[in-house]
Amino acid sequence: MGRGRSPKPNKSKKMQYRRSNISGGSYFLTLITHNRQTLFHNSQIIDLLRTAFRQVKEKHPFTIDAIVILPDHLHCLLTFPDGDANYAQWVRMIKGNFSRNLPSGSAPRAASRVAKGEKEVWQRRYWEHLIRDETDFERHVDYIHYNPVKHGLAAAPKDWPWSSFHNYVSRGVYPALWGADEVVSFGEDVGSE
């Protein structure tokens, strides 16, 4: 075959996005609120999100390896059991459960959504990354825990209340002052917002 140019994509065909579905895989996920509205701003709203995660976990077990909840998005690293590769369904269920239980008026709605009875809580899509190995896992856990500092919401990971960082400190994985007096940097292949 010659060294000609690649054929141009057929613009009439819509590109199909394909997610990685690995049974028993670990995934770094980023879920963002609709139009980046500041939704997660108090304990009551965050408790609704925790309840949504817990209720889905009860029916479809998975492990929350790390999580941080910021005002307009969350990052989490989840591991699914062997035989389970349907994390997209569990994400839909978490988002739906939370949205249904969110009090009226907590999220603004466009007239078209009001007519359909829908709330504008989440961006329709979300970011997912299949964890490749132990180093990739550790780098994404660090990214999750350092995220409040990255966004200027806390001086150190220990100062952000809605993070699994505190659990990691209690287990001796991190020193309590990790990330307090240093700038932690990450490569382009870690995290996404």
CATH of the domain at 66: 3.30.70.1290
**pLDDT-based confidence at residue 5 (cuts at 50, 70, 90):** very low
Task: Kindly state whether residue 122 falls inside one of the protein's structural domains.
Answer: yes
- pLDDT tens, residue by residue, 168-183: 999 999 999 999 988 8
Task: Kindly state whether residue 120 falls inside one of the protein's structural domains.
Answer: yes
- What lies within 8 Å, CB to CB, of 132 at 6+ separation is none
Count of CB atoms situated within 10 Å of the CB of 64: 15
Which domain range does residue 81 map to? 26-132
Asked if residues 114 and 67 have their Cβ atoms less than 8 Å apart, the reply is: no
Residue 129: is its pLDDT beyond 80? Answer: yes
User: How is residue 58 written in tokens?
Assistant: 């009860």
**pLDDT-based confidence at residue 126 (cuts at 50, 70, 90):** confident
Asked if residues 148 and 67 have their Cβ atoms less than 8 Å apart, the reply is: no
What pLDDT shows up at residue 18?
46
Residue carrying the six token digits 């009439």: 12
Task: Kindly state whether residue 63 falls inside one of the protein's structural domains.
Answer: yes
Mean pLDDT across the chain: 83
What pLDDT shows up at residue 125?
79
More confident residue, 57 or 13: 57
Task: Kindly state whether residue 124 falls inside one of the protein's structural domains.
Answer: yes
Task: Kindly state whether residue 53 falls inside one of the protein's structural domains.
Answer: yes
Predicted TM-score (pTM) of the model is 0.80
- The sheet that has 73-79: what strands, in order across it? 63-69, 73-79, 26-32, 127-130
- Count of structural domains, the chain: 1
Residue 167: is its pLDDT beyond 50? Answer: yes
Distance CA 64, CA 26 (A): 10
Task: Kindly state whether residue 94 falls inside one of the protein's structural domains.
Answer: yes
Alpha helices by DSSP H, 63-133: 87-101, 111-116
Asked if residues 40 and 47 have their Cβ atoms less than 8 Å apart, the reply is: no
Task: Kindly state whether residue 147 falls inside one of the protein's structural domains.
Answer: no
**pLDDT-based confidence at residue 31 (cuts at 50, 70, 90):** very high
Task: Kindly state whether residue 40 falls inside one of the protein's structural domains.
Answer: yes
Going from the C-alpha of 158 to that of each of 55, 131, 148, 168, 173, the distances in angstroms are 27, 25, 10, 10, 13
- pLDDT tens, residue by residue, 65-112: 999 999 999 999 999 888 766 778 888 899 999 999 998 765 554 554
